[in-house]
Structure 1
Amino acid sequence: MTAKEAVPVRDGDRADDDFPVIQPVGFTPVQVEDRARRLLFSPRALIIAGGMLLGLLILVYLLVSRSLIIETQPVDADVRVSGFALPLGDGHLVLPGEYKYTVSATGYLPKSGEVSVSGDKNSRHAVKLERLPGHLQVLSDPPVAVRVLIDGAEVESSQGLARNIPAGRKRVTILTDRYLPFTREIDIQGLDNTQRLQAKLRPAWADVRISSNPAGATVTVEGEVLGTTPLTAQLIQGDRIVEISKPQHKTARIPVAVTAGVDQVLASVDLAAADGILRLASTPSGASITVNGEFRGRTPMDVELEPGTAHRVRLFKDGYSAVERTIDIGAGVERQLSIDLSAVFGRVRITSNPANAAVYIDGRLAGAAGETFTLPARSHRIVVRKEGFEDYETTIVPSARLEQSIRAVLLTAEEARWSQVPAEFTHGAGGRMLLMRPNAEFTMGSSRREQGRRANEVLRQVALTRPFYIGTTEVTNREFRRFKRMHTSSHVNGVSLDNDNLPVVNISWTDAALFCNWLSGRDGLRPVYRTEGDRVVGFDTSANGYRMPTETEWAWAARYEAGSMKKFPWGDELPVQKNSGNFADNNAAQLVPAVLRTYTDRYAATAPVASYQPNSLGLYDLGGNVSEWIHDLYTIGTGLSLRREENPTGPQDGDYHVIRGSSWRHSGLTELRLSYRDYGAEPRNDVGFRVARWVN
């Protein structure tokens, strides 16, 4: 219905003119959007939003963070943790990561460190603080300056205060002059606190009564003058020397054992009259002095002489006449005596071979050999010198009573060198060794026409020039058992081969080589044989240790005589001569198939070494008794070689070694010859060995 429409009027109503007319107005819509924006950014809304965000962050922090608990000793220590760390009870609430901490407490050294907190679990970390050092104030009774020792080591202290002592139980020792040490064990608390120690000191001296006859003597102890006798002195405990001295009297030195607190009275000391002093000088100086036959020293010197007695004073010097005086001197008197010594000469004749050598006396050229020299009667160093020869040196004291002689035999450098090499010695196992200096060229082996010859005795031209030592006898059981204590050479049908002085047998070549190496080590020499375990794998020809003789050395030592090679140990002809060696004779008839019917050596099997005559070189049993292992490996030549071999030693490896010489089992012509050769590697009851050494 519009405003202009008529409204029906009922009876009794007012007329239309009685009501106001309704006029239309403009319409404005409500601004809903602007109002919502004002509400959203209002302060209240912002506060609520910020609170919610903070709560959310706290909730996330609580869910992600872990507790870090640092347990400290002491428990009341202050703990500081770097970064964002919320204190929470006994620890801190932190996010996972690395944190630095510092722990401190009063009286303790602060301690810092780093700790890692993982996101998996809470973290605990223990920190123990070190107590600060403590201080100790020593109060001594009586109050004297003291030294403080902690656990035996002296520490710096001032007026009894020792600072910076580590905490803990300590042994404290108080030392001071003239008082006994004071020791206590105390607990140093540390924490920079000062503790006090009361030390009641006990005297370390005793009263000693000292007197002398005559009185008035000065008493000195360890350089300190205490007074004059009689007196009572306080002496520190220990062994003391009390000196009591008085002019014109001898000083008395009395040992006194002093015990703290134990007083004592010394027996009165009788002081003897002082010695007289004789100031002795001589021309020349350095003369020896004797008083009543007792040596006192050399001039110039002061000699103390007992007063009231005549003393026989004698001066003497090489090259001068002795002088003797009788001296009587008073107590405490000083007297001077100067004596001129007269030179004494003697005559010495010096000759030389070869002649015309120069003579040096005391380092100066004096003349030529063949002259007579007049020399002071004292020791002189004589040197006789000639070009191409070593100097001859000696000392001599000429005599005024008779002419003396010196004959100088001059040696070449080579002769002088060999004069220093011993001609013989005894090795460490007890065997005797002789020096051999061969300079020989000879033919080893034997001619095909020689009766009894074997095919392996091929002729070889050799030269032997290298000097060597060789054992005079074969190695005995006694000597070998020093190397192998349990070795036995056994027996043959009840006949013993095992006595100490019999040659060792039933040993292999390797056993003999190992003995040589052992002996080299015992005597401090370089071993010849190279080994791997118990195997010999080669040898060193430059080594100076022991070995077996080479075949050339053995042949020369056994056969070479006056430029020719003898056939048998006794010579060149049969029959066997008496006492020539130990061969298979009638005594061995029960042990071997063939014997020498016309020869007797007194032994059925082996004989004691050196039982028969030595050869011209002084070597025993190179023929007979036992055959001998040789250094060389066994080889056979093809005929007489035109090439001369010098000092041959054989090859380095092979299966068998040479055996030379006859034994107690042999009686045949073949074996009795010195050119007889055999070979083997394993032990036999008639094979032993002797040792040799090169001289480098």
Structure 2
Amino acid sequence: MTAKEAVPARDSEPAKEEVSVIQPIGFTPAPVSSGGRKLLLSPKAIAVVSCLLIGALMLVYLLVARSLIFETQPGDAKVTVSGLALPLGDGHLVLPGHYNYTISATGYVSQSGEVEVSSDRNSRHAVTLQRLPGHLQVVTEPNVPVRILVNGADVDSDNGLAADIPAGRKRITVLTERYLPFSKEVEIEGLDNTQTLNASLRPAWANVHITSNPAGATVSVEGKVLGTTPLTAELVQGDRLVDISLPQHKTVQVPVPVTAGVDQTLQTVDLAAADGTLRVVSNPPGASVTVDGEYRGQTPMDLELASNSRHQLRFFMDGYSTVERAVDVRAGDLRDMNVELVPVFGKVAITSSPADAQVFIDGKLAGTAGQTFTLPTRSHRIVVRKAGYEDYQTTIVPSSKLKQSVRAVLLTGEQARWSNVPAEITHGAGGKMLLMRPDAEFTMGSSRREQGRRANEVLRKISLNRPFYIGSTEVTNREYRRYQRMHSSSHASGVSLDNDSLPVVNISWNDAALFCNWLSARDGLKEVYRAERGRVVGFDASANGYRMPTEAEWAWASRYERGAMRKFPWGDSLPVGKNSGNYADSSAGQIVPAVLRTYNDRYAATAPVASFPANHLGLYDMGGNVSEWIHDLYTIGTGLSLKREENPVGPQEGDYHVVRGSSWKHAGLTELRLSYRDYGAEARNDIGFRIARWVN
């Protein structure tokens, strides 16, 4: 019956009591095995998976890893690599990265380092281990203490054992006293091994038989006593000096060349009686002494004299008479001798200019000039002194037979200073220069009334007192070509201007200034002209180097004489004096348009310098030959002021420079005058120059 059938209708009450009650029953779960939860994979499956995973990892390692191989010397060296490194054949299998390694072998110095293994290639390294030093035991026959040298250098050794010798071929030298050096090439194998070297030593001495007369003399070599004669001694080879000595006799030194193994007998040595000693003293001391004509020294001194013989002694000293003595001494004697020297005098007369100067002799005031002094006949230092003057000094040795004289000319300080300045010098290019010491006031230029005067000859009042050197001649082609080797002064209508002794021409003022600077540098002087890129831009008036003369110096040197100013080089009037200079004469008619028809100087163009007489100061060609570049820039004064100019040098800036003096082209009255002034900057074939320099 179904449940539906068993439920009666609600409105049927009698049937309610007959309904059956459903009772619950107990639940019993399904049985579970005693092994716990059931596994998804069996143990066998897990083992298979693990093997596959390890294989995959190994495959990845093999694919990524690279070989690291060390090629070692020696080949059996042990190689240790840090990190994960799998030994593989001759090397290791490693992943890319940095690894430390250590390589070691018995007998070798271990070597460590670091290598980097890249991912794109295997790594191979060659490593050579250094052998450990070796040891050498030297065994000698005979057995003696030795020194050991390795390649010429001493090494420490103990009983013939030299330790820690670097491996390789070495030159071993064994040294010991009284034996010849032993030397041999030895291959030191190293590896901390000890090798043995047997050295058979040969004697380095020879037997030398020594006798003396008389016998019983002591024999010593280098301070070591060997015995008494007669004696056979073992002497080490080499040049030996044998001393043979005996009381009351002279010691004899015998040089003996000794060759190892070659015995010899020396010739009997005769020992002479010993010298005697003579102790000599003189009054005053310092006397020179000769014995039998041989100089022996100065007193006081001890003289060693041959015994049993008579000797001639001579004592002499400046200012004293000579003393002679004869003496003999016995062997080993010590005697004294005192000698009294007698002074000898001479007369010296001393005068001075100016008079009444003080006289000092050997540093002491002796009197005044005009006296005669009696002095010992030895060297004396004489000083003559007077206030306002420099000292006069000399030395003199008076004579006992002849009266001597000293004349002292005293100079003022200024005179003394100038006495040390040479009156003539030669500059580095070979030209001569004369010293000028002007002290003059003069008027430079010319009067407006002077015939031939030009407007630029303005009168200027000059004071010139600065000393200077000036060239006695114009600079020659020879001198200039020491500066510019290829310079040519060319020619004038076929007449050469280029011979060595002719004045240099066809140079600009700038060329002349640069020559001066070159000459200053050559002679170690300070350059006067300031140059930039080969052009002169100024000058230093304080410099002591070479330059061209200033216009004031040139005018003074050419015109000033006895307080007056010359008009022409030869005098103050025309006509031109005979042989007075090189001008446009009759021989130049084919070259220049105007000439001096009645004058002939024999030169159509330039003449060799110094071909004509010098002026009153010793300067040549101050008129004629070539006109001369002047230091000063060209200016024209107003002529309204006669304010005195002291040692003028001209302005620093301008376009043209002064030209002074006539030349071989000039024949006119204007140009022949010494006051004639020209100007320019560029080269001409009738302009040269002479040099000057200040004396500071």
Shift of 1:495: 4.5
* Distance in 2 (alpha carbons) for counterparts of 1:203 and 1:536: 85
* Distance in 1 (alpha carbons) for counterparts of 2:437 and 2:662: 25
What is the DSSP-based 3-state SS (H/G/I as helix, E as strand, rest coil) of the residue aligned with 2:611? coil
The equivalent of 2:468 in structure 1 is 468
* Distance in 1 (alpha carbons) for counterparts of 2:389 and 2:674: 41
The answer on whether the counterparts of 1:606 and 1:664 sit within 8 Å (CA) in structure 2 is yes
Is 1:542 the equivalent of 2:542? yes
- AA in 2 matched with 1:526: K
Out of 153-162 and 651-660, give the one that drifted further.
651-660
- CA-to-aligned-CA distance 1:38-84 (integer Å, 9 cap, x gap): 64799999988877776666555555544433443333333333344
* Distance in 2 (alpha carbons) for counterparts of 1:560 and 1:254: 85
* Distance in 2 (alpha carbons) for counterparts of 1:266 and 1:493: 96
What is the DSSP-based 3-state SS (H/G/I as helix, E as strand, rest coil) of the residue aligned with 1:192? coil
Out of 592-601 and 54-63, give the one that drifted further.
54-63
* Distance in 1 (alpha carbons) for counterparts of 2:298 and 2:201: 54
Is 1:660 the equivalent of 2:689? no
- CA-to-aligned-CA distance 1:348-392 (integer Å, 9 cap, x gap): 565555566555554455666666666554444444555554444
1:116-195 alignment, distance < 5 Å:
116-195=116-195
The equivalent of 2:102 in structure 1 is 102
* Distance in 2 (alpha carbons) for counterparts of 1:695 and 1:570: 29
* Distance in 2 (alpha carbons) for counterparts of 1:272 and 1:606: 89
* Distance in 2 (alpha carbons) for counterparts of 1:288 and 1:436: 53
* Distance in 2 (alpha carbons) for counterparts of 1:637 and 1:295: 81
The equivalent of 2:420 in structure 1 is 420
Shift of 1:144: 2.9
What is the DSSP-based 3-state SS (H/G/I as helix, E as strand, rest coil) of the residue aligned with 1:321? strand
Shift of 1:583: 2.5
* Distance in 1 (alpha carbons) for counterparts of 2:123 and 2:388: 95
Distance 1:554 1:120, change over 3 A: same
* Distance in 2 (alpha carbons) for counterparts of 1:670 and 1:530: 34
Shift of 1:419: 2.7
* Distance in 1 (alpha carbons) for counterparts of 2:641 and 2:577: 34
Out of 347-356 and 427-436, give the one that drifted further.
347-356
The equivalent of 1:9 in structure 2 is none
The answer on whether the counterparts of 1:528 and 1:545 sit within 8 Å (CA) in structure 2 is yes
- CA-to-aligned-CA distance 1:264-321 (integer Å, 9 cap, x gap): 5555555555544332222232221123443221112223344565433222233433
- CA-to-aligned-CA distance 1:482-517 (integer Å, 9 cap, x gap): 444454545545544444433333444444334333
* Distance in 2 (alpha carbons) for counterparts of 1:129 and 1:606: 90
Distance 1:627 1:210, change over 3 A: farther
Shift of 1:257: 4.1
What is the DSSP-based 3-state SS (H/G/I as helix, E as strand, rest coil) of the residue aligned with 1:519? helix
Out of 50-59 and 380-389, give the one that drifted further.
50-59
Out of 628-637 and 427-436, give the one that drifted further.
628-637
- AA in 1 matched with 2:280: L
The equivalent of 2:297 in structure 1 is 297
Out of 664-673 and 485-494, give the one that drifted further.
485-494
Unaligned runs of 5+ in 1: 3-23
The answer on whether the counterparts of 1:461 and 1:640 sit within 8 Å (CA) in structure 2 is no
* Distance in 1 (alpha carbons) for counterparts of 2:251 and 2:381: 47
Distance 1:529 1:164, change over 3 A: farther
The equivalent of 2:565 in structure 1 is 565
What is the DSSP-based 3-state SS (H/G/I as helix, E as strand, rest coil) of the residue aligned with 2:623? coil
* Distance in 1 (alpha carbons) for counterparts of 2:572 and 2:328: 88
* Distance in 1 (alpha carbons) for counterparts of 2:223 and 2:689: 76
Out of 571-580 and 522-531, give the one that drifted further.
522-531
* Distance in 2 (alpha carbons) for counterparts of 1:75 and 1:645: 102
The answer on whether the counterparts of 1:460 and 1:640 sit within 8 Å (CA) in structure 2 is no
Distance 1:122 1:501, change over 3 A: same
The equivalent of 1:14 in structure 2 is none
* Distance in 1 (alpha carbons) for counterparts of 2:657 and 2:551: 10
What is the DSSP-based 3-state SS (H/G/I as helix, E as strand, rest coil) of the residue aligned with 1:547? coil
* Distance in 2 (alpha carbons) for counterparts of 1:544 and 1:534: 21
The equivalent of 2:113 in structure 1 is 113
1:366-381 alignment, distance < 5 Å:
376-381=376-381
Tell me the percent identity: 73
Distance 1:614 1:131, change over 3 A: same
- AA in 2 matched with 1:528: V
The equivalent of 1:324 in structure 2 is 324
What is the DSSP-based 3-state SS (H/G/I as helix, E as strand, rest coil) of the residue aligned with 1:578? coil
- AA in 2 matched with 1:459: L
Shift of 1:432: 1.9
The answer on whether the counterparts of 2:178 and 2:204 sit within 8 Å (CA) in structure 1 is yes
Unaligned runs of 5+ in 2: 3-23
Shift of 1:25: 8.2
The equivalent of 1:672 in structure 2 is 672
The answer on whether the counterparts of 1:431 and 1:475 sit within 8 Å (CA) in structure 2 is yes
* Distance in 2 (alpha carbons) for counterparts of 1:665 and 1:33: 151
Shift of 1:397: 4.0
* Distance in 2 (alpha carbons) for counterparts of 1:171 and 1:476: 73
What is the DSSP-based 3-state SS (H/G/I as helix, E as strand, rest coil) of the residue aligned with 1:325? strand
* Distance in 1 (alpha carbons) for counterparts of 2:104 and 2:416: 87
- AA in 1 matched with 2:516: C
* Distance in 1 (alpha carbons) for counterparts of 2:272 and 2:487: 77
- AA in 2 matched with 1:659: V
* Distance in 2 (alpha carbons) for counterparts of 1:651 and 1:108: 89
What is the DSSP-based 3-state SS (H/G/I as helix, E as strand, rest coil) of the residue aligned with 2:320? coil
What is the DSSP-based 3-state SS (H/G/I as helix, E as strand, rest coil) of the residue aligned with 1:546? coil
The number of residue pairs the alignment matches comes to 676
Shift of 1:569: 1.6
Out of 446-455 and 328-337, give the one that drifted further.
328-337
The equivalent of 2:624 in structure 1 is 624
Shift of 1:325: 1.7
* Distance in 1 (alpha carbons) for counterparts of 2:114 and 2:77: 17
The equivalent of 1:579 in structure 2 is 579
- AA in 2 matched with 1:99: Y
* Distance in 2 (alpha carbons) for counterparts of 1:106 and 1:200: 34
- AA in 2 matched with 1:138: V
Out of 138-147 and 265-274, give the one that drifted further.
265-274
The answer on whether the counterparts of 2:436 and 2:468 sit within 8 Å (CA) in structure 1 is yes
What is the DSSP-based 3-state SS (H/G/I as helix, E as strand, rest coil) of the residue aligned with 2:149? strand
- CA-to-aligned-CA distance 1:3-24 (integer Å, 9 cap, x gap): xxxxxxxxxxxxxxxxxxxxx9
The equivalent of 2:196 in structure 1 is 196
- AA in 2 matched with 1:474: E
Shift of 1:469: 1.4
* Distance in 1 (alpha carbons) for counterparts of 2:96 and 2:123: 10
* Distance in 1 (alpha carbons) for counterparts of 2:269 and 2:283: 42
Shift of 1:339: 1.4
Distance 1:84 1:475, change over 3 A: same
Shift of 1:593: 3.2
1:155-304 alignment, distance < 5 Å:
155-211=155-211, 216-269=216-269, 271=271, 274-304=274-304
| TM-score, with length taken from structure 1 | 0.84
Out of 570-579 and 600-609, give the one that drifted further.
600-609
* Distance in 2 (alpha carbons) for counterparts of 1:461 and 1:526: 30
Shift of 1:693: 2.0
* Distance in 2 (alpha carbons) for counterparts of 1:528 and 1:162: 75
Out of 226-235 and 107-116, give the one that drifted further.
226-235
Distance 1:516 1:310, change over 3 A: farther
What is the DSSP-based 3-state SS (H/G/I as helix, E as strand, rest coil) of the residue aligned with 2:575? coil
Distance 1:461 1:238, change over 3 A: farther
Out of 181-190 and 114-123, give the one that drifted further.
114-123
Distance 1:57 1:485, change over 3 A: same
The equivalent of 1:649 in structure 2 is 649
Is 1:523 the equivalent of 2:523? yes
Distance 1:623 1:142, change over 3 A: farther
Out of 83-92 and 686-695, give the one that drifted further.
83-92
- AA in 2 matched with 1:179: Y
* Distance in 2 (alpha carbons) for counterparts of 1:433 and 1:67: 92
